[in-house]
Amino acid sequence: MNDISKSFSGVKVLDKVSLKIKPGEVHALMGENGAGKSTLMKILMGIYKSDSGSILLNGEAINITSPKDAISKGISMIHQELNPVLDMEVSENIFVGRELLKTGFEKLKIVDKSAMREETAKLFQSMNISINPKSITRRLSVAEMQLVEIVKAISLKSNIIIMDEPTSAITEKEVDVLFTQIEQLKNKGVAIIYISHKMDEIFKIADSITVLRDGVLAGTGDSKDFTRDKLISLMVGREIKEVYPKENAEIKETLLEIQDLCRGKRVNHVSFQLHSGEVLGIAGLVGSGRSELVETIFGIQPAVSGRILVKGKEVRIKHPKEAIAHKMAMITEDRKRTGLNLKSTVEQNISLVSIRKLAKYGIIDKKKEGTAAEQYIESLKIKTHSKKTPVISLSGGNQQKVVLAKWLLDEPEIIIFDEPTRGIDVGAKRDIYTLIGKLAKQGKGILVISSEMPEVMGISDRILVMSEGTIAGELKRDEFTQEAIMNFASARGGKII
């Protein structure tokens, strides 16, 4: 890709960016959210058309007109934002747009569902993934959908595969499976363009690195020529000395107590306490019951049995509005599906939970709403043209900050974070870690689910490790190691989905 430029509504998002990829290499494309990485890749996939510049494949100039055209030229992409057809079977999503047809009935275009299920099962088996090909995609977790997208891209047998945050929703064990597949693809001469905000991954698998900052090329070269500090400095234009800042908050009284909570196999006799000023991490493999546990506590899926106590008083929570009434907040795993109204403005999203407080006689006080939005845009450093900007146009990190603002405006005392930094850059991650520390210092009780072990160890005071719906172990801060977490996570036979 030579001197690629692209503008939207007069704003230049790419300015003469060049990128060279070799067969059989993993080329990491790095940069903060909004740096232009996804735009550059969407141009390569034919989703956007560049304003200027050229693309050469095997030395020949090509014009890519659509994603279908890109795939026909041997280029495929695992997108950061998952967009499967939710009411289709898993196998149908794997083969969408290239369905297998019944032998002898090709002219009638009769789809062979059995053949697609069989081929999907073979693909899953080769990657040690046990998702049922017949499952309706809507019923899958975010992590399971991510694995389906990975398998789908690999099944296209492309010469170039773009992987945009492929591990953002999967755990260490699933990451190892993906890396094994990447090694096999490299050996076949397949080129991988790998986008990730996880530094450990980049230095583990990347052969070369290109860094974008504010739409321009900030640096490129062999991965061995980069250090972590140099890479961060190129990405953000400044030095970040401490990735996981930890506030020394005073841990006081019990805010939340869970006693023998049950909701099927995924939440099975779980008990624990969360204290004022404490950041309590929840770790575990995909399918261990982490998200199901916090969804049960928050009333998204009511408990079958057990007790929930807030400040020592038993409460009944069968709906999120009851959890909110008890001063709880929940930042969900998938901000686009369950955290934001993408068609609304930044201002309208920030006021969503607190709408009653901002209304008088059922009419929203626009002045109050605007003031509240401006306050959180400033305090959380949300990068947006204005409070009236549609939230869909913000980068992932800034969208996540809008979700946080929405809940913080309601002044909760117990805050649940489910994968709070999924798919956001190192600068925005640090901002969220700093905020979590400040909230703990204010006496809030913080519950954090994270699939990134360095993250959960970096910000937590204590970690509970789940396996097969139960608490398999508990670790104090001076006991944190990745080995200890994995031992507990797999203690009850934890496995890939």
Length of the chain: 497
How does pLDDT run across 185-200, given as a tens digit for each residue? Answer: 899 999 999 998 788 8
Dihedral, CA of residue 17, residue 22, residue 24 and residue 30, to nearest 10: -20
Domain's final residue, options 236, 269, 303: 236
Domain's final residue, options 201, 236, 271: 236
Amino acid at 33: N
Tokens of 334: 């998938």
Q: Which residues contact 145 (CB under 8 A, 6 or more apart)?
A: 82, 84, 137, 169
Tokens of 219: 């640096």
Res 104: pLDDT: 83
Cα first-last separation, the chain: 38
CATH of the domain at 23: 3.40.50.300
Rg (CA), the chain: 23
CA dist., res. 470 & res. 477, Å (int): 21
Q: Quick one: 220 and 303 in the same domain?
A: no
Domain count, the chain: 2
Dihedral, CA of residue 422, residue 425, residue 428 and residue 434, to nearest 10: 70
Q: Quick one: 160 and 270 in the same domain?
A: no
Residue 246 domain-assigned (yes or no): no
Angle between helices 426-441 and 396-408 (to 10 degrees): 20
Res 116: pLDDT: 94
Q: Quick one: 343 and 209 in the same domain?
A: no
Q: Quick one: 39 and 184 in the same domain?
A: yes
Q: Quick one: 332 and 400 in the same domain?
A: yes
CA dist., res. 255 & res. 234, Å (int): 42
Domain's final residue, options 209, 236, 263: 236
Report which of 378, 394, 386, 299 is spatially closest to residue 341, judged by C-alpha positions: 394
| Chain-centroid distance, C-alpha 315 | 32
How does pLDDT run across 449-467, given as a tens digit for each residue? Answer: 998 888 899 999 999 999 9
CA dist., res. 301 & res. 293, Å (int): 9
Residue 243 domain-assigned (yes or no): no
Helix (H, G, I), strand (E, B) or coil at 201: helix
The partner residues of 192 in beta bridges, in order of sequence, read 26, 161
How does pLDDT run across 220-232, given as a tens digit for each residue? Answer: 999 999 998 888 8
Cβ-contact 293, 274 below 8 angstroms: no
Pairing of strands 462-467, 279-284: parallel
Helix (H, G, I), strand (E, B) or coil at 489: helix
* Strands (DSSP E) found in 393-485: 414-418, 445-449, 462-467, 470-476
Res 493: pLDDT: 42
DSSP state string for 337-402: III--TTSBHHHHHTSTTTTTTEETTEE-HHHHHHHHHHHHHHTT---S-TTSBGGGS-HHHHHHH
Res 121: pLDDT: 94
CA dist., res. 29 & res. 212, Å (int): 8
Residue 242 domain-assigned (yes or no): no
Residue 446 domain-assigned (yes or no): yes
Q: How many CB atoms lie within 10 A of CB 318?
A: 11
Residue 247 domain-assigned (yes or no): no
Residue 241 domain-assigned (yes or no): no
Res 495: pLDDT: 37
Residue 40 domain-assigned (yes or no): yes
Q: Quick one: 177 and 221 in the same domain?
A: yes
Tokens of 28: 């990491």
Residue 141 domain-assigned (yes or no): yes
CA dist., res. 353 & res. 325, Å (int): 11
Q: Quick one: 232 and 364 in the same domain?
A: no
Q: Quick one: 84 and 113 in the same domain?
A: yes
Q: Quick one: 303 and 446 in the same domain?
A: yes
Q: Quick one: 382 and 327 in the same domain?
A: yes
Parts of the chain with a pLDDT under 50: 493-497
CA dist., res. 386 & res. 390, Å (int): 9
Q: Quick one: 33 and 112 in the same domain?
A: yes
Q: Quick one: 259 and 232 in the same domain?
A: no
Q: Classify 260 in phi/psi space as left (phi over 0), alpha (psi -120 to 50) or beta.
A: left
Domain coverage including residue 287 = 254-489
